[in-house]
Amino acid sequence: MRKVTNDVLQRITSLRQRGYSLPEISREVGISKSTALRYVQDVDILPGYRQDWFGKRGGSRKRKYIKEKEALEEARNLVGQLSSKEKLLFISALYWAEGNKKDFILTNTDPLLVKVFVEGLIGVLGINKDRLQVSLRLYEDIDKERSLDFWSQLTGVAKERFINVHILPGKKKGKLEYGMCRVRVAKGGDLLKKVLAINSLVASCPRSSVDRTQTS
């Protein structure tokens, strides 16, 4: 634990009384935020500085929210309206990264990834929902019924139709809140061949003259 001199302590106290935040004190004095926190816990903000100090609280969360909002707007402008072809390529890429190469199966823990994949199977590739076979892999500390409800709502497949729920030993609730979802398309051999063929074409497609010009 780092100890500070009386002069540094007085400076920390003075800055805090004038409404300086922990990051600001850390920068001004040249100490860590944890050290600053240790010495400001019992320091009262002077009345004339309290409004500014309250405005700084939660500043990092506000900045994060603003950055995320800006990123979303930029992404919306970049992506625009996706065509069926673009959606098909996106689904194929997801399968390329996460899918099984012998049977049409995709397993993942990311709800958004699974949602996009399932919606693509139905909306772009025209797969009937009745052909979707969903199963779960859960660790023993994960609430089974809660996970069933979650994945059922996300995939649109009734939980009564889930093929299997396999309970694994160990505790992973903090990392895998709802476990792993496995989506299989029944009689999906032809679909597997189609998606693998698309990925093969993408891999073998030569760069266009525009690409070569931009990278030269």
177: which DSSP letter?
A: S
Find residue 99's DSSP bridge partners. 106
pTM > 0.75: yes or no: no
- Helical residues (DSSP H) of the chain, grouped into ranges: 6-17, 22-29, 33-40, 50-56, 59-79, 84-98, 111-123, 144-155, 189-204, 209-215
Query: For the ranges 4-13, 197-206, 207-216, which has the lowest average pLDDT?
Result: 207-216
Distance CA 109, CA 15 (A): 46
Contacts 24+ apart (CB under 8 A), 20-24: 20/53, 21/53, 21/56, 21/57, 21/59
pLDDT in tens, 156-175: 999 999 999 999 888 776 67
Residue 216: pLDDT over 50:
no
Q: Could you read off the pLDDT of 27-72 as tens digits, one per residue?
A: 999 888 888 888 888 888 888 888 777 777 666 666 776 788 888 8
Mean pLDDT of the chain: 87
- Locate the domains of the chain by residue range: 6-61, 84-203
Q: Which residues touch 144 (CB under 8 Å, ≥6 apart)?
A: 138, 165, 167
CA 159 remoteness from chain centre: 25
Q: Is the pLDDT of residue 145 over 90?
A: yes
pLDDT at position 210 over 60? no
CA dihedral over 38, 44, 48, 54, signed as positive or negative: positive
Question: Cα-flanking dihedrals φ and ψ of residue 150, to 5°?
Answer: -65, -55
Residue 214: its pLDDT value, please? Answer: 47
Q: Each residue of 65-118: pLDDT tens digit?
A: 678 888 888 888 888 888 999 999 999 999 999 999 999 999 999 999 999 999
Give me the pLDDT at residue 213, please: 43
What per-residue confidence (pLDDT) applies to 206? 76
Tokens in use for 211?
């690409």
Looking at residue 209, its pLDDT comes to 44
C-beta of residue 67 within 8 angstroms of C-beta of residue 155: no
Q: Say what the pLDDT of residue 205 is.
A: 80
Quote the CA–CA distance of 124 and 154 in Å, as a whole number: 17
